[in-house]
Structure formats: C-alpha cells, structure tokens
C-alpha cells in the first residue's frame, strides 16, 4: 500500500522543472508520508514528475518505484495484484517478457506494455496506478473495479496532476474556499460522504471505480469505463458451493505477503468468515477488535468468544471519549473530504493497534453490498401491500401521512409506502431529507437524484431490493465503506485487504436471487446464501447473528461532554454563509433534551465544521505530535533526473 503523485506537463518539450517546482512537488508527496514510510522517491523526466511513498509488502528489498519498463514506460502503482505470479509466467511464455524484480509493480508495467487497457480486467486485486508512455507523451491511469484504492485528478493549464490523496493536489489547485463545490457539499449532507467523482474542491475530482483515463497535451483528458458491477438474479443449484469456493480461494490469495498478516474481527459473519478461512492457511493468525466503554456499544466480548472458538489470538482496543476528542481533528484531516460515518473512529484506533503487530490485515468490507446484508433491503417486501394500491388511493394516504404528527406510529410507513423507490431510497445512509436540507443550507444545489437516477435506470428490470443493493454498490461502498477503510488503515501505514471484493467472489454473488439473500420465511436474516456457505466453517452462534457493524455511541456522546464540544465547534467554526448555524444548534438542543434523535444530522454538521476549520479557516490544527515526521534525507530518499 502506497502513496503516489504524478504530473505531466501540457508543454510537450518541457524540460526538468525549476528547483522551486521540484521542491513543491516533493513537499506535496510528503503530505502522504503515512501511506508509505519505507521508501520515498521522486523522478523528473520528459516534462513529467513521479513521486512515490512505499509501504514495502512484496519483494521488499527490490521493486522500488517508480518502475521502468523497456525504456518506454514509467509506472507508479498503489495496491496489490494478487495474481501477479500467474500473469508474470504468461507474459514470459507468450511475449518473452523480462523482469528485473520479483514484485507485482513490474508485472503491471509489462502487462500494460503488451496488453494495453485489455490488461485491466485481468488484474485480480486492488489498484490505482499511472503509466506514462514516453514514446507518445501519453499518461494512462486506472482505478480498480470497486474503488478500493483512491485516485484524484487535477487538470490545469500547466498539465495533469494525479495523487492518492486530495491534499497532495491542493498546492497546485488554487484557493480551497473559492473553489468549494456546493453541489458536492449538498450531496454530503444527504449521503454522509461526497459521492464519486466529486470532491469538495471544484477543480479536483476522483477517478470513479472501474474507470481508466488517458491524457496527453494534444488530446486532453478522456475517461472510459472498463468494468461495471451488475446484479442480475439467475437460477443455479450451486450458489452456496460457488461462494464457499470463491471466498476460500480469495482469502488464500490475499494472505500472500513478506510481512506479518493479521485480520480484523467484529461480531458478524463477514469478518468471522475471513478469519475462519484465513486460519486454514495461517494457524497463527493474529486478529484485532475494538469497542467502546459504553454498554451495548462494544463487540469485544463477542469477538473474543469467536476468536476462542476459532483458536486465534485476539488483541482488543477500547476507545474512550478522551481518545475521540484528541484524535478527531487528525481523523478528519486524513479523510480529505468529510465522512460523517462515526464507525470510522473505532476503525482508526483498531488500525492503530493492529499496526503495532502486523503490516497487513484482512477485513470484511464489501460483503453486505454483494450479498444483501443491510436490513433496509427488506423494506420493499414490507411495503409491497401499500405499493400495489391504485395511484389515487396512494395520494390520499400520502396526504394522511402528512397530517399525522412527526414521530407518531404509522406516519413513516405511509410516507415510505406512497413514495416511489427512486425518491425514498438514495443510499444506506440518508442524513438530511431534501426538506431538511432546505432549512440547513443557505444555497441551492442540484438534487440528490442527480447521483442515483441513472442507477435506477440501469436496474429497471430487477426487483426493488436488488436496485437498492446496486445503488449502494456504486455509491455507499466506494464513498463511505472503502474510503474510511483506506484512510483509517493508511493513517498507521497498515495495508487493509478486502477478500470479498474479489472478481470470483463478485461473480458468485452477482447472480443471487433475492430469496437467497433475504429469505421471505425469516424476516430477520440477511445474506442467507453467504451464511449457508459458511455453515460448518464459522461458529454457529456467529453464523446466525444479526449485523452490528462497529456500533458507535454518537447519540450518547452528544448528550455529554462531546456534545458540549460539538456545540462550540458548530457555533464557532461552521461557515454561516453556507450553513444555518442556528438551525443546526436547535437540532443539537433538541437531541440533548431527548425530544428527537438528531445524532446523525448533528454529527454530519459537526464533521463539516471541523473540516472547514482545518482545511479552509486554519483555526484548528491537528496535534503535530500525531503527524508523521518528514522523511529524513539519506539513502531512503532519491531525486532522479532522467531526461529533458
């Protein structure tokens, strides 16, 4: 796992940049030191610049980056290619490829050299990479199929910049406050994250998952999609066997490393499945779990019991309120754009603990989106009766719902049942409704349907539960689940791998009929096919347990000392030209009084206020002692001039 930044000049004949520009590029790379503390290299060649921070996992003594291939390509690559040894053998056999290293980076370069973009669907792994063709002056880049690894884009009159984190592009992008994307901000308050390809900086965008780009001074920027995950229920008698086989093989592949490998373990079937299968190949597996010192908000006891049954060593982490207040500025800084998912807090401390023992962890992200793990996916079945009513009757019931006082039983059911799915479901986390955003925001922005409408159009031929799953696969998964996994693990130079998001596992899940995900004869079970595939592999008590998912006591925090801190943060740091601060504070007051549970809404406003104070106003600075120190000069730093 690593950090990269790249610049290609819009002037084809550009020579090496001046010393000030070189220093600025190197300093931008240093903002990502946490992503790769093992080696730092910067190269300038043919009007292009390549920076790389390496976390050495494979071929640790060699395979430094940037990697060069046949005097034509310079490649920087963040991620892992789990089938690189098979690809390497094929490239040698069929194309006479030669290699100077034993790592996957050079294999990626050779694959792109011989196969071009056709290599992308053949890559089993997680990746964001840039490959510069010195012969044609063309930059190629791509991001993995599901968006496990990030890649940011900035195009200016000077050329094209790429980086693993947005902060590495900010020095080249102009004033952050002036460039604030209000549409992206409005989407944040709907989804609790900024959906791809937007960021809060109008000029900087993310390359969407499953996309590649090409750029040249003459041809400009072009994006193409090479992979689109699709969920199309079909009939098969081997679903359970296919899932079990694919997941076992994926876990085996994800364990390959030259450094210590562990795993995260919570209370659910996803992480338990990963740990149980990993233990088959690695009996001395070390696992890690986290929780809070609040009753009902810790999975530690359950995880410890599961670890004991599986026979693996477990190290728990208990997170306190003092920990949260102390580290939250650093956490928000790491995110680049705010993510109002409080579960990233225990993930941050979990990764911190794990990094003291291992360099790689396996984790269960992606299972819920592929196998139907969220209870909200049962909503279409519960609303089926009301949705079948004539349109006129539904309009009448909707009017009745509006006449029922807020919070009275039955109002929500009538509202949801009389609202088309395209309007009522816009992701697994739905923070502010359009009506609530109209009160919160002091500007007008595009509606949230601009993000989801095309996804519903693409799933018009499947059932509503599958459409909801598809929406989350394309928004919630990359925007929240994978974003926090990448940033919170990389904060501690820890590589997090996700065996569920493997091509073969996806193929086994993509055709599951809804009944095998959400059986009608058990209204509490989700991921039925996966649970059946894990029968006899994970403890039976875990296999049947309902999902908890790192429960975080935000509701309780806001009624105590953290609530005092949040109130001061919102009143003192939220930009009043963008946010109705009085409205936000009323939400907090009502929550503390117990008249409404506004915890998610207040937390979303607070995280944006903290983001603004750190990134725009500069009134809050994360504790310097918690920041990674600059890379020292010496043999771990290399600045290389390789041409004009």
Alpha helices in 478-579 (DSSP H): 482-490, 503-510, 514-517, 528-533, 540-543, 554-557, 561-573
**Secondary-structure class of domain 239-373+475-551 per CATH:** alpha beta
CB 161 within 8 A of CB 154: yes
Could you give the CA distance from residue 388 to residue 379 in angstroms, rounded to a whole number? 14
Q: Work out the burial of residue 594: count CB atoms within 10 Å of its CB; fewer than 13 is exposed, 13-18 middle, 19 or more buried.
A: exposed
Q: Which fold has domain 2-179+206-227?
A: 3.60.20
Which DSSP string corresponds to 319-386? E-HHHHHHHHHHHHHHHSS----TTHHHHHHHHHHHTTT-SEEE--TTHHHHHT--GGGGHHHHTHHH
Q: Which two tokens stand for residue 236?
A: 């098969």
CB 574 within 8 A of CB 581: yes
Using CA atoms, how far residue 351 sits from 38, 262, 325, 358, in Å, is: 18, 11, 18, 10
CB 65 within 8 A of CB 52: yes
Q: Which residue has the tokens 């109130």?
A: 567
For the annotated catalytic residues, the residue numbers are 2
Residue 409: the pLDDT is: 78
Residue 549: the pLDDT is: 59
Could you give the CA distance from residue 23 to residue 28 in angstroms, rounded to a whole number? 9
Which DSSP string corresponds to 444-505? ----THHHHHHHHHHTTTS-HHHHHHHHHHHTHIIIIIHHHHHHHHHTTT-EEE-TTSSHHH
Going across the sheet that includes 67-69, the strands are 67-69, 73-81, 125-133, 138-143, 211-216, 220-225
Residues of the chain with CATH 3.40.50.620: 239-373+475-551
pTM for this entry: 0.94
Using CA atoms, how far residue 250 sits from 47, 228, 246, 287, in Å, is: 40, 20, 6, 18
Q: What is the mean pLDDT of each run of 10 residues along the chain (644 residues)?
A: 92 76 94 95 92 90 89 96 97 96 94 96 97 95 98 96 97 82 97 97 97 96 96 90 98 96 94 97 97 85 94 96 94 96 96 97 97 94 83 78 76 82 88 94 94 95 95 97 98 97 97 94 88 95 75 92 95 96 98 95 98 94 50 31 32
Residue 74: the pLDDT is: 96
pLDDT digits (tens, 9 = 90+) for 528-584: 999 999 999 999 988 887 766 567 999 999 999 999 999 999 999 999 999 999 999
CB 525 within 8 A of CB 246: no
Could you give the CA distance from residue 80 to residue 72 in angstroms, rounded to a whole number? 23
> Which of 554, 511, 531 minimizes the C-alpha distance to 192?
554
Residue 627: the pLDDT is: 35
Could you give the CA distance from residue 97 to residue 74 in angstroms, rounded to a whole number? 16
Could you give the CA distance from residue 602 to residue 582 in angstroms, rounded to a whole number? 12
Q: Which two tokens stand for residue 268?
A: 């659910």
Residue 1: the pLDDT is: 66
Residue 629: the pLDDT is: 31
Question: Pairing mode, if any, of strands 286-292 and 204-206?
Answer: unpaired
């Amino acid at each position: 796992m690593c950090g990269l930044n790249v610049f290609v000049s819009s002037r084809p004949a550009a020579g090496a940049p001046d010393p000030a520009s070189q220093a600025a590029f190197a300093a931008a790379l240093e903002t990502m030191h946490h992503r790769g503390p093992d080696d730092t290299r910067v190269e300038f060649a043919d009007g292009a610049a390549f920076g790389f921070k390496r976390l050495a996992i494979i071929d640790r003594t060699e395979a430094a980056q940037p990697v060069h291939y046949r005097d034509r390509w310079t490649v920087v690559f963040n991620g892992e290619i789990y089938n690189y040894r098979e690809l390497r053998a094929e490239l040698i056999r069929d194309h006479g490829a030669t290699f100077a290293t034993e790592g996957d980076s050079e294999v990626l370069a050779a694959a792109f050299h011989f196969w071009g973009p056709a290599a992308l669907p053949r890559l089993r792994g997680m990746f964001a990479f840039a490959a510069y063709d010195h012969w044609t002056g063309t930059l190629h880049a791509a991001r993995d199929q599901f968006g496990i690894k990030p890649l940011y884009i900035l195009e200016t009159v000077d050329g094209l910049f790429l980086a693993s984190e947005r902060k590495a592009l900010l020095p080249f992008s102009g004033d952050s406050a002036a460039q604030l994307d209000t549409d992206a901000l409005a989407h944040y308050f709907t989804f609790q994250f900024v959906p791809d390809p937007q960021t809060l900086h109008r000029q900087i965008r993310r390359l969407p998952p499953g996309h590649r780009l090409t750029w040249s001074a003459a041809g400009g920027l072009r994006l193409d999609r090479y992979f689109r995950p699709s969920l199309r229920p079909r009939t098969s008698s081997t679903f359970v066997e296919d899932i079990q086989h694919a997941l076992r093989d994926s876990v085996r592949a994800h364990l390959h490393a030259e450094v210590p490998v562990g795993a995260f373990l919570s209370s659910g079937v996803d992480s338990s499945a990963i740990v149980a299968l990993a233990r088959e190949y690695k009996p001395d597996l070390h696992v890690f779990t986290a929780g809070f010192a609040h009753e009902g908000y810790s999975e530690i006891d359950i995880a410890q019991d599961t670890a004991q049954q599986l026979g693996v060593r477990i190290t728990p982490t208990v997170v306190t309120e003092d920990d949260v207040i102390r580290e939250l500025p650093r956490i928000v800084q790491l995110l680049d754009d705010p993510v109002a998912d409080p579960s990233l807090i225990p993930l941050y401390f979990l990764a911190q603990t794990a990094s003291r023992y291992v360099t790689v962890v396996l984790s269960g992200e992606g299972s819920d989106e592929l196998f139907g793990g969220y209870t909200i996916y049962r909503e279409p079945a519960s609303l089926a009766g009301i949705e079948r009513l004539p349109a006129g009757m539904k309009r009448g019931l909707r009017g009745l719902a509006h006449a029922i006082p807020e919070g009275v039983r039955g109002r929500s059911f009538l509202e949801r049942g009389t609202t088309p799915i395209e309007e009522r479901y816009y992701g697994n986390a739905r923070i502010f409704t359009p009506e609530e955003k109209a009160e919160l925001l002091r500007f007008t922005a595009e509606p949230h349907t601009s993000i989801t409408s095309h996804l519903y159009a693409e799933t018009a031929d499947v059932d509503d539960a599958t459409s909801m799953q598809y929406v989350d696969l394309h928004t919630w998964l990359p925007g929240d689940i994978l974003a926090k996994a990448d940033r919170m693990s990389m904060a501690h130079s820890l590589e997090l791998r996700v065996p569920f998001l493997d091509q073969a596992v996806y193929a086994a899940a993509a055709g599951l009929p809804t009944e095998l995900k959400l059986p009608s004869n058990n209204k509490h079970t989700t991921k039925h096919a996966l649970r059946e595939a894990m029968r006899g592999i994970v403890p039976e008590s875990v296999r049947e347990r309902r999902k908890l998912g790192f429960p975080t006591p935000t509701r309780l925090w806001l009624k105590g000392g953290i609530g005092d801190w949040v109130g001061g943060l919102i009143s003192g740091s939220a930009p009043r030209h963008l946010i109705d601060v009085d409205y936000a504070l009323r939400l907090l007051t009502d929550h503390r009084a117990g008249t409404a549970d506004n915890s998610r809404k207040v937390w979303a406003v607070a995280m944006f206020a903290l983001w603004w104070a750190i990134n725009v106003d500069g009134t809050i600075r994360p504790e310097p002692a918690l920041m990674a120190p600059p890379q020292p000069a010496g043999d771990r730093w290399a600045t290389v001039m390789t041409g004009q």
